[in-house]
Amino acid sequence: MKHLEDYYHIECPFSRPNYFTGVVVIVGEEISLVDTGTESSPQETIYPFLRNLGRNVNDVRNVILTHSHGDHSGGLESLLQLSDVKIFIHSIERPNSLNLSAKLKLDPSKVLGL
């Protein structure tokens, strides 16, 4: 669903029928995502959406995580395997982002505070 020029909100199916988590896609020369949905969201929803725009995962350069719960950050691991992204998360989430970095074997310096 398109809300504003070059800003899209996509619904990623969640664990129960008729539930979803939202991902915002900001399209420019580079693509930025606000959240990455669940673990299955990239393959099921985000990547197909990007392909429909004539873009691909390599165009994603920034991920802004609203917080580190799995329904908002679960797709990050898949994304990191295919694209070199900067990850932004609020400083209040710093302890959780360190846990997320450890889980993903991610260099904590790639996670930037806001």
Domain map (residue ranges) of the chain: 2-113
Q: What is the pLDDT of residues 27-62, one digit of tens each?
A: 999 999 999 999 999 999 999 999 999 999 999 999
pLDDT mean across residues, the chain: 85
pLDDT per residue over 75-84, tens digit each?
Answer: 988 898 888 8
Residues 6+ apart with CB under 8 A from 15: 38
What is the model's pLDDT at position 67? 85
Pairing of the two strands 111-113 and 31-34: unpaired
Of 3-7, 42-46, 79-83, 108-112, least confident by mean pLDDT is 108-112
**Superfamily for domain range 2-113:** Ribonuclease Z/Hydroxyacylglutathione hydrolase-like (3.60.15.10)
Quote the CA–CA distance of 80 and 13 in Å, as a whole number: 21
